[in-house]
């Protein structure tokens, strides 16, 4: 009898009595591995570690379209003066253009009702909170960006926090962006042309008739539809560094994200002055930029509009005024850019609407000279929150009394020029009675001796000394608007819904 055969048969008969094969205990030491643990668990795992549902599978997604309207009149034009070149629009953040920003226990700025350690109130709007501040003997520590805002305390009324960075964007953050498409662009009808006006006492009569203030060039070309967007067959739209699907005869076409054409073309009458209006531009086709892998988070867009040769358009919205005066009847406000800034009727036209920089106006309200005049404070607040029509363009000079008066034969121009205006007229704030009569709502805002309402620079802080040098303004009627379509992959929540009962 074979002893080993009997032993193997005995082992086979005893196997049902064990939870594991005893031979496995001998296998590990033979491989140089010391066995540790309970032999009852040497078999395959029966727990959740091998469960197919232990790791959440990628959820089903559905394509959702979002439309981003980029209205450049809402941008911080002080930081981004040109709406056609490298215009930056950010996602996930939004400017705090509110006249009463909220204050929290962990606040990035010291409010104007906060004091330092010796009880001196803060007079500098937007002072960075680097040393902490006090209110009613309660200390609030310096701002810590790694901590939450904390409890809400109050609103800091009276001024606007100037937004950091470029101050143009939305709190919406697109995620899993699958594609981007330009839907529409609204471009203002304006002339990109500046024609000099000849002023020379020795010029010939022919030259004056052609190039003078009332010459042929001014009457036939200035403020007409020549050299406007409509005179180009198409425009190139650039978005970030995303190349489009176009191939042309130059590098600018290859780099363009999209090619824009007028939605409806009509015959232009070049004898009619350019009006205050916009034109629709749309992509040549329904082309869409589809990414091979969706963008996890889209943080910003950078836009540029060029002509067919790739030259970007220039519109410098960097004008500012240094004086606001009333007329003798206080029916209108005259806004002057001073002696160092002149503009032509391509940059500002009768019928356009202007807005003023709210950050500058909110700062001058904190000025000791302005704060004591409640009418001036009210006028500054209204100028910061509204838009105003341009009623007239002004070419004024200062007289011997310091008042700005219209240029006349006694103060003629002595050199040729191409920008002839240094001011514009807007309505004053008026009160209308039951019979239709009007009176100025804030008569004390006007200085009695010179009709001044605001004369810049205006000091608004003592330590350190800070001034508002001038008041920037923006012509909102000349600002383009772009609309983009973003296709984002979002979780399909349709499986989670229930039945709607009446």
Least confident span in 46-60, 260-274, 483-497: 46-60
The yes-or-no verdict on residue 25 having pLDDT over 70 is: no
Residues 420 and 332 in one domain: yes
221 part of a folded domain: no
Same domain, 348 and 466: yes
pLDDT > 90 fraction of the chain, expressed in percent and rounded: 34
Q: Residue 240 maps to which CATH number?
A: 2.60.120
pLDDT at 501: 58
Sort strands 61-71 and 102-104 into parallel, antiparallel or unpaired. Answer: unpaired
Residue 208 domain flag: no
Residues 468 and 330 in one domain: yes
For residues 240 and 370, membership in a common domain is answered with no
- 304 and 261 within one domain: yes
The string over 463-478, giving b where at least 16 C-beta atoms fall within 10 Å of a residue's C-beta and e elsewhere, is: eeebebebbbbbbbbb
Domain assignment of residue 117, yes or no = yes
For the chain, give the mean pLDDT.
83
**Predicted local confidence at residue 92, as pLDDT:** 80
Q: Rounded mean pLDDT of 152-158?
A: 79
* pLDDT value of residue 269: 63
Confidence of residue 418 (pLDDT cuts 50, 70, 90): confident
Question: Could you tell me if 110 and 234 lie in one domain?
Answer: no
Is residue 251 located within the same domain as residue 271?
yes
Task: Name the residue with higher pLDDT: 5 or 480.
Answer: 480
270 has a pLDDT exceeding 90:
no
- Whether 106 is in a domain gets the answer yes
Q: Is residue 35 part of a domain?
A: yes
**Residue 239 CB partners (closer than 8 Å, separation 6+):** 180, 182, 257, 258, 289, 301, 302, 303, 484
Q: Is residue 200 part of a domain?
A: no
Please tell me the distance from the alpha carbon of residue 437 to that of residue 442, in angstroms, as a whole number. Answer: 16
List the domain range (segments joined by +) for residue 332: 320-478
| Rounded Cα gap, residues 184 and 70, in angstroms | 11
**Number of domains forming the structure of the chain:** 4
Residues 376 and 296 both lie in one domain: no
* 343-369 per-position pLDDT tens digit: 888 889 899 999 999 888 888 888 888
Mean pLDDT for 454-480 is 88
Euclidean distance between CA atoms 376 and 355, whole angstroms:
18
CB-based contacts of 51, cutoff 8 Å, min separation 6: none
Look at residue 32 in the predicted model and tell me its pLDDT.
57
Same domain (yes/no): 235, 279: yes
336 and 409 assigned to the same domain: yes
Statement: residue 158 has pLDDT above 60: no
Whether residue 71 is found in the same domain as residue 135: no
Q: Is the pLDDT of residue 163 over 60?
A: no
Q: How far, in Å, CA of 469 to CA of 453, rounded?
A: 15
In this prediction, residues 264-287 reach a mean pLDDT of 75
Q: What is d(CA 455, CA 470) in angstroms, rounded to the nearest whole number? A: 9
What are the E-state strand segments in 202-288? 235-239, 258-262, 278-283
Nearest alpha carbon to residue 483 among 236, 85, 183: 183
């Amino acid at each position: 009898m074979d002893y080993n055969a009997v032993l193997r048969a005995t082992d086979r008969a005893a196997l049902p009595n064990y939870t594991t094969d005893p031979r496995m205990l001998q296998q590990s030491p033979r491989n140089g591995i010391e066995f540790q643990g309970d032999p009852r668990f040497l078999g395959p795992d029966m727990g959740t570690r091998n469960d197919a549902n232990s790791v959440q599978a990628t959820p089903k997604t559905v394509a959702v379209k979002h439309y981003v309207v980029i209205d450049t009149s809402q941008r911080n034009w002080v930081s981004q003066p040109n709406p056609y070149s490298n215009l930056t629009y950010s996602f996930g953040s939004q400017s705090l253009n509110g006249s009463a920003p909220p204050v929290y226990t962990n606040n990035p700025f010291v409010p104007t009702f906060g004091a330092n350690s010796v009880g001196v109130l803060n007079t500098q709007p937007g002072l960075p909170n680097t040393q902490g501040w006090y209110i009613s003997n309660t200390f609030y520590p310096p701002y810590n960006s790694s901590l939450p805002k904390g409890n809400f305390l109050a609103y800091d009324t009276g001024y606007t926090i100037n937004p950091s960075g470029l101050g143009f964007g939305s709190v919406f953050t697109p995620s899993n962006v699958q594609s981007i498409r330009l839907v529409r662009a609204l471009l203002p009808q304006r002339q990109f042309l500046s024609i000099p006006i000849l002023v020379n006492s020795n010029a010939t009569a022919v030259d004056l008739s052609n190039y003078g203030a009332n010459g042929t060039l001014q009457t036939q070309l200035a403020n007409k539809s020549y050299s406007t967007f409509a005179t180009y067959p198409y425009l190139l739209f650039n978005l970030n560094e995303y190349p489009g699907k176009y191939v042309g005869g130059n590098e600018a076409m290859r780099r363009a994200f999209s090619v824009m054409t007028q939605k409806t073309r009509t015959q232009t009458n070049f004898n009619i002055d350019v009006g205050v209006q916009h034109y629709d531009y749309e992509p040549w086709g329904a082309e869409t930029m589809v990414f091979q892998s969706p963008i996890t988070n889209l943080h910003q867009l950078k836009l540029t509009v060029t002509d067919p040769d790739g030259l970007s358009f220039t519109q410098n919205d960097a004008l500012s005024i240094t004086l606001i005066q009333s007329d003798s009847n206080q029916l209108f406000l005259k806004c002057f850019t001073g002696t160092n800034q002149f503009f032509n009727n391509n940059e500002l036209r009768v019928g356009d609407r202007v807005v003023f920089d709210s950050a500058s106006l909110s700062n001058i309200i904190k000025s000791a000279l302005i704060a004591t005049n409640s009418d001036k404070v009210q006028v500054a607040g209204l100028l910061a929150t509204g838009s105003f029509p341009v009623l007239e363009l002004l070419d004024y000079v200062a007289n011997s009394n310091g008042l700005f008066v219209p240029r006349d034969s006694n103060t003629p121009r002595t050199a040729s020029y191409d920008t002839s205006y240094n001011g514009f007229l807007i309505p004053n704030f008026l009160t209308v009675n039951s019979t239709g009569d009007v009176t100025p709502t804030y008569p004390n805002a006007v200085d009695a001796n010179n009709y001044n309402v605001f004369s810049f620079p205006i000091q608004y802080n003592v330590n350190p000394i800070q001034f508002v040098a001038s008041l920037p303004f923006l012509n909102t009627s000349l600002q383009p608007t772009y609309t983009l379509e973003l296709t984002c992959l979002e979780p399909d929540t349709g499986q989670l819904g229930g039945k709607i009962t009446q």
